[in-house]
Structure 1
């Protein structure tokens, strides 16, 4: 489900199914960041539509969306479902792909060969209004699968970084005001990439003077740590606990392997409202997290806190790769 709520969450807590993470401002703790990295990527297997490969690791999923695009005589099978729903959105997936690619550029050498990065889809598929009126497994979808073809400064900044062609920097300088470069940046998200654009451009200038960059980094680290409750010794402990009522259709409904009979659009809502734990663990899922007062309700019907999404995991992958490399080096 895509809404403006994603852009209003200033300090989300990140949950990983079967593992959580220790983030310490004082030092790198002896946590298994490599395992967390693999799980954060494994999450995407739970979001796969299409014909699943033989090496699919989340065995509770099965083939789905095998006719996507057929009504328009194009093959749009595959890609990734957006979040807890069965829709393939264009802009959120573009953000996911951009963030994952950025992670590989910055930390690719730290990533295990076992970490299979997801492959990007091309367009959006599905009607979100109709989809959100159903609670059914991806394998049972019977609603129309409409197709939608779908930001300039962000693209220009990356092309400039890759090519060092000054014309792209000139484009940003000439069009920045018109395209919103001076607007307030509340978050880096699929709906607002300006913060990411500024980081890409700033990094290029800062790295020309490594000493200045290190001072800037130290200042940034200290500032971020000052935002964490109980700083500098506050830690979010690495434990086996995780939310049991994740707001995700495939995870919350019985697998087609366990219950082959169809679960239709309306009947599935009894699973949404049920207090029973999800029968299928969506390993590696990053949820929206607690409210502004750090309260988290493990409630499947509360999508504002319990829904995972591809674009939540995507920026997390690079951070985990960095921490994994630092831990392995110590």
Structure 2
């Protein structure tokens, strides 16, 4: 059966009366429902009556509260939340919910109306599985994010978001910038970065809003970005970003090659001390020279950071196999030798390098070695790497998918490589824990909430795993639906109607915690007075995903808020790759869609 969710019928034909509610079977005893009610006068509080063709035993809903249940579960009176009480003429109140039933009599039908408005039964439409589709997203659902006007189906312009995210990584570049630098307010920086014996350590990405280079999150981000690029390369082509993406991803790969010396068995993992974050505020172009550097060695090992960098290099080698074979071979050689170093000399890098512990304290290294091994198997098809990956693999359901825990990433790649149902079950268990009814709380507006520190980063990373799992045939409908809901939350489906991606839409963060963008153009001075400035950052840090709101959807656009308004290279990685997945779906499966509802039909229809 073709799924039908969020089918939005043009309310211009439903004059202040009933509107249809559409349902689709999601699980054996649950259906997803949605409706949109037009607002004909200003409201300061509202109630909506929801009627169903059959009894509903439980109604899970975020946009409203159920205040009364009537007619044996066939009618519900819904009341606004505190954050959406005020509605204005021309708005629409759109509600999504999950309806649980005790029995199955076919797909539910229903209708809804706004209390206090005349119900005009002459305009009532029958609710069937073939409700006419006549509206575009901009017509039926107001949004303060950037609605899609690109001609590609989808609620938001995901192609635009994809290009913006790449620009964020360009803004993070350290070293001598290329002639095709895309960020006009950035210039050459940190040209004196050198190893203990004069090794050239220029390049790479600054980690966040500060000016330190941390290889662990940098390599993690590079691996995730490369994984998404390989899986959905067509998305980058469609968005006109393929060349830009190759250029962007090569920047950290070149840097990793500089950091690794296979002869000396030394790998530089950090440039700059964490104290720099609290002692310096300004442009990277104004950083002091000869920053302190840190490395892991045979006597002071770092299997985690070396392992994830080997994964990044191996993934890069696959990317460049056809584009630049000699460069791809160089990446693969470095990946294999660095992996050998990581597995021969075991240890946690933040123990060997205490300077890293305050920012990126690692909890282990088997997960990184697992990911490195499986990527090397993908690059070489040497079965010894696959056997290694199985050895390092853990069946545990991890806390999250992040720079510190890549367990579920390895589980998913092992399933992709082997089709062993054991790995599939592990991935399913992890994703189930993140979905409604799992172990995570949800914010009132529907975001899965793992941690207040970079809340959107965790959410987007798991959305990426969900889309990747769907590509491997794991719970396709459910995983795509969930990933889409979380990404749309980030782009504007939240109580602030705010895009949490800087530069996207008409309302987005103006004060991301980012030194370079907070500074005026040179030669003007930039220091802590700019940090404390009440105004917006002089430069728009296009594409940056900020940390995000807390568990109540509360967010403060303040530069001083390093919990909610920080940006970082690992924040954007899973987010960008998920966006690439949505662009891929929109261009390969939605080419005939004329409305957002049809987009969702195609998105949620299992591949045959």
TM-score range, shorter chain: 0.7 to 0.9
Instruction: Tell me which moved more, 216-225 or 132-141.
Output: 216-225
Does structure 1 residue 287 correspond to structure 2 residue 541? no
Aligned length: 295
1:241 alignment counterpart: 507
Query: CA 1:100 to 1:269, structure 2 compared with 1: closer, same or farther past 3 Å?
Result: same
Question: Which of 255, 274, 281 is equivalent to 1:128?
Answer: 274
Question: Distance in 2 between the 1:215 and 1:191 partners?
Answer: 25
Larger strand proportion of the pair: 2
Query: What is the CA deviation profile of residues 113-163 of structure 1, one whole-angstrom value per residue up to 9, with x for unaligned ones?
Result: 343333212242111123432212111111651122242111112223334
Alpha-carbon distance, 1:164 to partner: 3.8
Question: Which of 369, 382, 387 is equivalent to 1:152?
Answer: 369
Root mean square deviation of aligned Cα: 3.3
Counterpart mapping for 1:86-235 below 5 A: 86-112=211-237, 113-116=242-245, 117-118=248-249, 119-120=251-252, 121-122=255-256, 123-142=269-288, 144-150=290-296, 151-176=368-393, 181-206=394-419, 213-214=472-473, 216-222=475-481, 235=493
Query: CA 1:294 to 1:136, structure 2 compared with 1: closer, same or farther past 3 Å?
Result: same
Which of the two has higher C-alpha Rg? Answer: 2
Question: Which of 69, 74, 84 is equivalent to 2:199?
Answer: 74
Query: What is the CA deviation profile of residues 231-282 of structure 1, one whole-angstrom value per residue up to 9, with x for unaligned ones?
Result: xxx94667321101110000112222xxx1554xxxx122212211100111
Structure scoring higher RCO (CA < 8 A, sep ≥ 6) equals 1
Q: Secondary structure at the match of 1:148?
A: strand
Indicate if the aligned counterparts of 2:511 and 2:537 stay in contact, CA closer than 8 A. yes
Unmatched segments (≥5 aa) in structure 2: 1-143, 257-268, 297-367, 425-468, 500-504, 592-608
Question: Which of 221, 237, 250 is equivalent to 2:516?
Answer: 250
Unmatched segments (≥5 aa) in structure 1: 1-18
Question: Distance in 2 between the 1:100 and 1:148 partners?
Answer: 25
Question: Distance in 2 between the 1:195 and 1:21 partners?
Answer: 32
Query: CA 1:52 to 1:168, structure 2 compared with 1: closer, same or farther past 3 Å?
Result: closer
Query: CA 1:242 to 1:152, structure 2 compared with 1: closer, same or farther past 3 Å?
Result: same
Query: What is the CA deviation profile of residues 204-227 of structure 1, one whole-angstrom value per residue up to 9, with x for unaligned ones?
Result: 344999999536222433555788
Indicate if the aligned counterparts of 1:33 and 1:327 stay in contact, CA closer than 8 A. no
Alpha-carbon distance, 1:198 to partner: 1.3
Question: Distance in 2 between the 1:50 and 1:287 partners?
Answer: 24
TM-score normalised per structure 2: 0.44
Query: CA 1:83 to 1:22, structure 2 compared with 1: closer, same or farther past 3 Å?
Result: farther
Indicate if the aligned counterparts of 2:271 and 2:292 stay in contact, CA closer than 8 A. yes
